[in-house]
Structure 1
């Protein structure tokens, strides 16, 4: 299968390597010049669970450079940048191209319907993780899974088969929106709290009030979900969080929001905790914890960007 991965950061690179190793023709699409240059020059370095680093060669292009047609485009662009990415790669999307969105956050499907027919949309969630250490190098740990659904009722079995050939543990689900909200609940806990506590997932779990904070977020989310016709299984999310805290699963991983903050990037907080707070306000549902977490993350974004700018100034002097 000819596959493009739009958003070839930490997770996109991990999936890309796995799919290429399984024999698929993979092209990465990304907008970070340093990352693209490093892969073009030295290949993509992957370190898995402290094993010896491996180097993989695969094409990575900007959205403006990529050409041709693809059977499948996997979207891992951050939700705030999804609309722009789809606009930029429109020339490579044919009416036969299927698009699988695995980006975190809520609202991705609505964005996609502005660009392609529902029949082409596959929406999914994934528990695979990866860390971008520096341009051209990722560190991976543990394993994961993918759940997906064809929004317009198209045949998604060939995509599931391709993903499973790569060991990605993919399966179809009849209710992906519930799964997406479930994953959003996991991310709404682990992503911002890892940033605010400066901790990886396992370290977050050592906090005596870790699950109390998780419940503060999730119980508000549950009320917001109910107002949108979504049943949020708080106990199920807590069970998954407990599993992810273990080092052999994802405990040693720093979530993507932590990585974005470290790199001076805007996060997707407005499509996680901020989304719950915004819908809550519209529906008359109090969400003080999610609103506070959102404001704190935005403050952290500003602080870290100023720090990085000063470091760059000192470097150039």
Structure 2
């Protein structure tokens, strides 16, 4: 199959490059960030490193939406939550979406599938989550964090039905790309499990401006994680959402990730450190909303959402 990646950022490059290099499929990149598009064209591709080493140039095809004439079978969508609606509107106006195309997204947080559904048939949508750490150093320069073949992800049909033939072919391509896919059938429980993980690692590392290895130096992180996971699981239970991991499994996932990705600064911190808005409203804030909608107050998630926004506001005084 042929793939198109919307959003040539950290994760967009990760998926597109691995599909292109390991699965030997055709990939086109669509981006609207001019410095990135022009840099890639100037240098003839994107520079790719792994764990800050082995930097090399990977040739890629990159386009602005308005100039794109291709017709991929599957769109892989990776944009910041706050930018997605405008991106999809621009892409649709450029005429790059077609009724026969599938859409896959493994963006952080929740709230994006409803936006994607405005342009794609929900029976052709695939939800994803990715336990994959990546850093965009700058335009045309990306760093894959973690060992080769260490990537892991889940995917599930957005309609909660059994995967069709195209979805199974996507899974096969992702597997050959070494993205470590695992198919699920409960997309919302799958996604909420990842959101609750990010609500611990991304948010706490951002608040204290630390990487995951530094976070692991505090001997109370398991208790902090448990408190946040308990609220998330309680809120989801009231909403009838079945998580795909238990509370203890999620705590252990945090501890394991802090060792495996000890030098990684989560994506929320990357945004915060560059004075960009964070996605906390789509992570801790989303969990808090699920709770409020089901007569349960996630007090810790509510509080840390405010804390991150307070930290964002205080940057003006530095």
Normalised by the size of structure 2, how large is the TM-score?
A: 0.90
Q: Indicate yes or no: 2:16 matched with 1:9.
A: no
Q: Indicate yes or no: 2:166 matched with 1:149.
A: no
* Aligned residue in 2 for 1:45: 47
TM-superposed deviation, 1:272: 0.8
Note the 1:202-241 alignment, pairs <5 A: 202-232=213-243, 233-241=246-254
Residue 121 of structure 1: which of 121, 125, 130 is its match? 125
Q: Indicate yes or no: 2:105 matched with 1:101.
A: yes
> 2:141 and 2:26 mapped to 1: Cα distance?
21
* Aligned residue in 2 for 1:252: 263
* Aligned residue in 2 for 1:34: 35
> 2:151 and 2:119 mapped to 1: Cα distance?
29
* Aligned residue in 2 for 1:165: 176
81-90 or 39-48, which moves further after superposition? Answer: 81-90
Q: Deviations over 1:26-56 (max 9, x none)?
A: 1222232222222121231111124321111
Q: Indicate yes or no: 2:67 matched with 1:65.
A: yes
Residue 86 of structure 2: which of 56, 61, 84 is its match? 84
RMSD: 1.8
Q: Confirm or deny: 8 A CA contact 1:145 1:169 kept in the other structure.
A: yes
Q: Confirm or deny: 8 A CA contact 1:95 1:120 kept in the other structure.
A: no
Q: Confirm or deny: 8 A CA contact 2:102 2:120 kept in the other structure.
A: no
TM-superposed deviation, 1:80: 2.7
Q: Confirm or deny: 8 A CA contact 2:78 2:107 kept in the other structure.
A: yes
TM-superposed deviation, 1:186: 0.9
Q: Confirm or deny: 8 A CA contact 2:236 2:290 kept in the other structure.
A: no
* Aligned residue in 2 for 1:263: 274
Q: Deviations over 1:198-220 (max 9, x none)?
A: 11111111112222221221111
Q: Gaps spanning 5+ residues in structure 2: where?
A: none
159-168 or 22-31, which moves further after superposition? Answer: 22-31
Aligned residues: 305
Q: Gaps spanning 5+ residues in structure 1: where?
A: 311-317
* Aligned residue in 1 for 2:134: 130
> 1:145 and 1:51 mapped to 2: Cα distance?
21
* Aligned residue in 2 for 1:313: none
TM-superposed deviation, 1:133: 1.5
